[in-house]
């Protein structure tokens, strides 16, 4: 039998400000600026959550975890991702792979990627070789280039066998 295979897309942006910690893909990265948001503002995990929810046609991260809900104030986005993974699992979905691109002029992301893969692998219960994390700049162009914010895109493949 042919498995039911779906793909999903996620995109998110958060503003960079002084006086906030920078969290990306579940780890804290030393930097002079951090991302502003109701939760820890982990833009990469948010994009990944939306890719997974989108693949399953289960709405989006704001639908499940509204930023008006005090429960999610300062929330660790790893918990949101764990909740998304559980929701997919309850609906019979398994995760094939995920691919994330982080658009940031600074700081350098590449040294942190193996640790990020491990963190996401543990939460999603899939091999780290199924989680791709990539970093790019936008050549100093636009809001990411001016270091006003960080953007993240993600795709995910899910299946029922």
Q: List residues near Mg ion by CB under 5 A.
A: 12, 46
Residue 44 CB, nearest distance to Mg ion (Å)?
Answer: 10
CB nearer Mg ion, residue 114 or residue 153: 153
Residues 6 or more apart whose Cβ sits within 8 Å of residue 147: 16, 33, 104, 105, 106
When the beta carbons of 27 and 128 are compared against Mg ion, the nearer one is 27
Shortest-Cβ-distance residue relative to Mg ion: 46
CB of 46 to Mg ion, least distance (A): 4
Collect all residues with Cβ–Cβ distance below 8 Å to 63 and sequence separation of at least 6.
none
Nearer of residues 46 and 78 to Mg ion, judged by Cβ: 46
Q: Measured from the CB atom, is 46 or 112 closer to Mg ion? A: 46
Parallel, antiparallel or unpaired: strands 33-35 and 4-18:
antiparallel
Question: From the CB of 145, what's the least distance to Mg ion, in Å?
Answer: 20
Which one, 36 or 128, has the nearer CB to Mg ion?
36
**What is the Cα Rg of the chain in Å?**
15
Is the distance from CB of 96 to CB of 1 less than 8 angstroms?
A: no
- Minimum distance from CB of 123 to Mg ion (Å)? 17
**Could you tell me the two tokens for 66?**
């509204």
Tokens 């992301």 belong to residue = 109
CB of 37 to Mg ion, least distance (A): 6
Q: What is the maximum span of the chain, computed from C-alpha positions, in angstroms?
A: 54
């Amino acid at each position: 039998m042919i498995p039911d295979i779906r793909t999903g897309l996620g995109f998110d942006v958060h503003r960079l400000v002084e006086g906030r910690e920078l969290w990306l893909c579940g780890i804290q990265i030393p930097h002079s600026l951090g991302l502003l948001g109701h939760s820890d503002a982990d833009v990469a995990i948010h994009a990944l959550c939306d890719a997974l929810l989108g693949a399953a046609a289960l709405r989006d991260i704001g639908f499940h975890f509204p930023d008006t809900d005090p429960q999610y104030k300062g929330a660790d986005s790893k918990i949101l991702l764990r909740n998304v993974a559980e929701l997919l699992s309850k609906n019979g979905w398994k995760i094939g792979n995920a691919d994330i691109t982080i658009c940031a002029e600074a700081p350098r992301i590449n040294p942190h990627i193996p640790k990020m893969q491990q963190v996401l692998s543990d939460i999603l219960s899939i091999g780290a070789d199924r989680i791709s994390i990539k970093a790019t700049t936008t050549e100093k162009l636009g809001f990411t280039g001016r270091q006003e914010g960080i953007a993240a895109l993600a795709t995910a493949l899910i299946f029922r066998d």
